[in-house]
Amino acid sequence: MDTNLGPLLNSYEYDIDKLSHKQRSTIPSPDPALGQTTLSAADRSSPRSYIPVCEPDIDAAALENLQACIEENWISSGGRFVTEFESQFAELTGVRHCIATSSGTAALHLLLAACGVKSGDEVIIPSFTMVAVASSVVHLGARPVFVDCDEGSENICLEEILKKVNVRTRAIVVVHTYGRPLDVSALLQQVDTDRIAVIEDAAEAHGATIHGKTVGSLAYGAVFSFYANKIITTGEGGAITTDNDDLAMVCRTMRDHAFSPERHFWHRYRGYNFRMTNLQAAVGVSQLAKFHQLCDARKKIAARYTQAFSNFSGLILPQEDQGTEHAYWVYFLRTSPGSISRDQLRLELARNGIETRTAFVPLHLQPAYREFYDESDNFKNAEQLAATGLYLPSSSKLTSVEIEYVCLNVCHILKELRGASTYS
């Protein structure tokens, strides 16, 4: 690819006249090792007028599977695609059991219930996470106990978790936030796992690994989401993964109204309707066929962004912890305190048709969960992430032109905002 991006720049829907040659050259040229080095004829066309943060990457195989569902008349929770999806995802995750559910939230609710979480119990969760984690706890009558992020990370602080464990603690939910995997091995050694269920929330971390092991196989049980913006999708959908045979049996039973196999319309447990449909699973099976391709696409986009932005002093880029492989569900970065304005960066990108999203608002600040906030606690790291964090378009459907368009705009805007670049 031309190092001065001349051919690319000329194809952008961008006011090129406002960019000097020096400004055009501030973005580093792509590393050939990161993927495509020449542009196809299709990629020479202008980028879309609007580049979303995430979008599903659905192909013809999904349509074929959906057609098969209709022809076979299996459109609800029965059907071969549910079984295929569970079997294939369990194998990819490296566990014996996968229990497909109607959503990631349903998966966490179901897993917590199967672990015996009930009224009066406490469940330790990160404050910096999606609200579904807290709602799953509260709807079981339990109390969420919030913990701050580790400094320099989007993930929960393991040391702070240990300070919150008490006789009422029934479960700990460790979230692999934005696809950054968190090693839970030390936590598993320090808590009473016979009494406390350690659960991975891998909703955003498909394919991430820690010391060669895939997330979703590291603790007592784990949950995944297959919402439309996830690395793989079933539209709406989720799953529980575990190596524990008894836990898997309870989850399968409770997922389907807790129907007893011994007697028709007989219920030993209080169950839920948290089943994945055959239609959802049909899409999921088509996604699993290109699982590694979808995961690799996110990683290549992240590598290109990191290469392009690494010399800008106003940004804090995503990190990979030793021995881990980041999933890069989204490319989450932060503006350095006292440098550029996160909101101004977002505004300028939006003006050029590039969508961004801000970070999660910490749960301890949410009106719906303020009653669970102990004001003696300190959540400075979560609050800093919320104030300075954003993520960029990360879909596996992004073309090389669109990726370079994002890089160009971010670099140019950073140059304009307080001279944030260290480039000469």
Catalytic residues: 230
Residue with tokens 């109607």: 102
**Chain center to CA of 368:** 23
SS in 3 state form for the chain? CCCCCHHHHHHCCCCHHHCCHHHHCCCCCCCHHHCCCCCCCHHHCCCCCCECCCCCCCCHHHHHHHHHHHHHCCCCCCCHHHHHHHHHHHHHHCCCEEEEECCHHHHHHHHHHHCCCCCCCEEEEECCCCHHHHHHHHCCCCEEEEECECCCCCCECHHHHHHHCCCCEEEEEEECHHHCCCCCHHHHHHCCCCCCEEEEECCCCCCCEECCEECCCCCCEEEEECECCCCCCCECCEEEEECCHHHHHHHHHHHECCECCCCCCCECCCCCECECCHHHHHHHHHHHCCHHHHHHHHHHHHHHHHHHHCCECCEECCCCCCCEECCCCCEEEEECCCCCCHHHHHHHHHHCCECCEECCCCHHHCHHHHHHCCCCCCCHHHHHHHHHEEEECCCCCCCHHHHHHHHHHHHHHHHHCCCCECCC
**Chain center to CA of 335:** 20
**Cα–Cα distance between 118 and 139 in angstroms, integer?**
9
SS in 3 state form for 26-85? CCCCCCHHHCCCCCCCHHHCCCCCCECCCCCCCCHHHHHHHHHHHHHCCCCCCCHHHHHH
CB 136 within 8 A of CB 109: yes
**Cα–Cα distance between 304 and 393 in angstroms, integer?**
12
